[in-house]
Amino acid sequence: MSAERPAPGTLRPRGRTERVRQAVIAATRAVLVEVGYEGLSIERVADKAGVAKSTVYRRWRDTAGLLMELLNEVVAVEIPLADTGTVDEDLRRLAVQISRFFTDHVAGSLVLALIAESVHNAPAAEGLREFWTRRNTQAAEIVHRAIARGELPEATDPVEVIRMIGAPLYYRLLVTHEPFDETVAERAAAAALAAARAGSLDQPSRTA
Amino acid sequence: MSAERPAPGTLRPRGRTERVRQAVIAATRAVLVEVGYEGLSIERVADKAGVAKSTVYRRWRDTAGLLMELLNEVVAVEIPLADTGTVDEDLRRLAVQISRFFTDHVAGSLVLALIAESVHNAPAAEGLREFWTRRNTQAAEIVHRAIARGELPEATDPVEVIRMIGAPLYYRLLVTHEPFDETVAERAAAAALAAARAGSLDQPSRTA
């Protein structure tokens, strides 16, 4: 909320740094499309981006770092957060957009690859935890607005409502491997709202 | 429900077959504890079980097959399905047992390893789909009984209620890597029940 100025000395390289970032994101995406997750390497990405290998190593460290950078970009662009004036519609759109995200082969396989990686790779797991904490906090603005408008109980835990939107989709995608579509997504949104309205998604009690 | 008799010719080897199966399950578990998923191999399991490698290859094909066999056994034993007389208590116990399952290192890492494998391995994904379809259909008996007792609306989709119990736990475990405990589990059960009672987990309409 405060007007932040870049720290001294960071202004000059800003343009180049951002250009490198965009080139590396585009290259990571292209390499994933061409050769898949198995073929992703720092070398291939640096080559395609026209950036020195050492730069990519220094800034992103490994393929998990590259995937996380791409994830940030892709989720922000492809799952925009709606503000339609009603929580039912905002959450319905969020659920539908998450389900569509996984019909896009690149974006979907990116998230799946990161999740598979995170099972055996603690830094990847920590990266995902940080990413989702930030992202779900942003998305929870939808629920904060709903509480302010009196659409949901004051005690509602906003982030828990957001978790309930994604959870049924990821459950099918990762655990049961059952198909899902927009009907499944809409049902997830409706269920989260019903649970919140019944007081089942309240903030955990501090005294418990 | 019909009294099934074993097919002719399967009776005699039953005892040995079952002994081999139990030995292989125990060996798979022991190898996982000793050297982890990365070290799991048909050779190691056959060796520890005292069974011919060719037998293990023929029956289980690969490590995913071994893990699926262990999964069947472990889930049936460690997550029993309650029948306490009320759906609230049956589902609360189910949720708590799923969360405890993942504090058991071997059982939890087994499921995680299978899920990671399933992202890049179609037969493993199909194995998980078959396993969870069977398992969630069994667990849905809890919801069928609740509908018969008038505790939940007639139109409730029993398997969807069961999915809603597990989904928030797997979401934290696999996607956001946030911690969870029995409070999270109990909230998942309460939310699933509230959504079902509000009619948000009804069977998908056939006419839609």
User: The complex's ipTM?
Assistant: 0.84
Q: Residue A87, Cα to own-chain centre: how many angstroms?
A: 20
Cβ neighbours of residue B25 under 8 Å, at least 6 residues apart?
A: B69, B70, B73
Q: What value does the mean pLDDT take over residues B150-156?
A: 98
CA distance A4 to A9: 15
Asked if B179 and B130 touch (Cβ cutoff 8 Å), the reply is no
According to CATH, where is 1.10.357.10 located in chain A? 70-197
Backbone angles phi, psi at B202, to 5 degrees: -70, 160
Residues 2-41 of B with CB under 8 A from A: 37-38
Q: Which of B113, B174, B195 sits opposite A195 (nearest CB)?
A: B195
Share of chain A above pLDDT 70, in %: 91
**Residue A94: beta bridge partners?**
none
Distance from B180 to chain A by nearest Cα, in Å? 12
Can you give the pLDDT at residue B3? 45
CA distance A138 to A82: 11
According to CATH, where is 1.10.10.60 located in chain A? 11-60
Q: If chain A, 208 residues long, is cut into consecutive pieces of 10 residues, what is the mean pLDDT of each piece? A: 47 76 94 84 96 96 88 89 97 96 79 85 88 96 98 98 96 94 95 97 72
Cβ neighbours of residue B1 under 8 Å, at least 6 residues apart?
A: none
Can you give the pLDDT at residue A21? 94
CA distance A59 to A22: 13
Six-digit token string for A106? 């690149």
Distance from B59 to chain A by nearest Cα, in Å? 23
Sign of CA pseudo-dihedral B190, B72, A110, B172:
positive
Residues 95-154 of A with CB under 8 A from B: 112-113, 115-116, 118-120, 125-126, 128-129, 132-133, 136
Q: Which of B112, B174, B195 sits opposite A191 (nearest CB)?
A: B195
Can you give the pLDDT at residue B81? 96
Can you give the pLDDT at residue A113? 82
Can you give the pLDDT at residue B13? 53
E-strand stretches of chain B? none
Share of chain B above pLDDT 70, in %: 91
Asked if B203 and B155 touch (Cβ cutoff 8 Å), the reply is yes
Can you give the pLDDT at residue A177? 94
Centre a 10 Å sphere on the Cβ of residue B18 and count the other Cβ atoms it contains: 10
Q: Which of A116, A136, A193 sits opposite B119 (nearest CB)?
A: A116
Six-digit token string for A208? 């418990």
Instruction: Give yes or no for residue B6 having a pLDDT over 70.
Output: no
Helix (H) or strand (E) holding B12: helix B11-35
Q: Dihedral through CA B59, CA B60, CA B66, CA B70, nearest 10?
A: -50
Q: What value does the mean pLDDT take over residues B132-156?
A: 97
Centre a 10 Å sphere on the Cβ of residue B74 and count the other Cβ atoms it contains: 20
Q: What is the fold of B70-197? A: Tetracycline Repressor; domain 2 (1.10.357)
Do B132 and A175 make contact, defined as CB atoms within 8 angstroms? yes
Instruction: Give yes or no for residue B8 having a pLDDT over 70.
Output: no
Can you give the pLDDT at residue B207? 46
Distance from A16 to chain B by nearest Cα, in Å? 32
Largest CA distance in chain A: 56
Which residues of chain A neighbour B38 with C-beta distances below 8 Å? 120
Residue B166 at interface with chain A, using a CB cutoff of 8 Å? yes
CB pairs under 8 A between A and B: 135
In CATH terms, is domain B11-60 a member of 1.10.10.60? Answer: yes
Chain A residue whose CA is closest to B124: A177
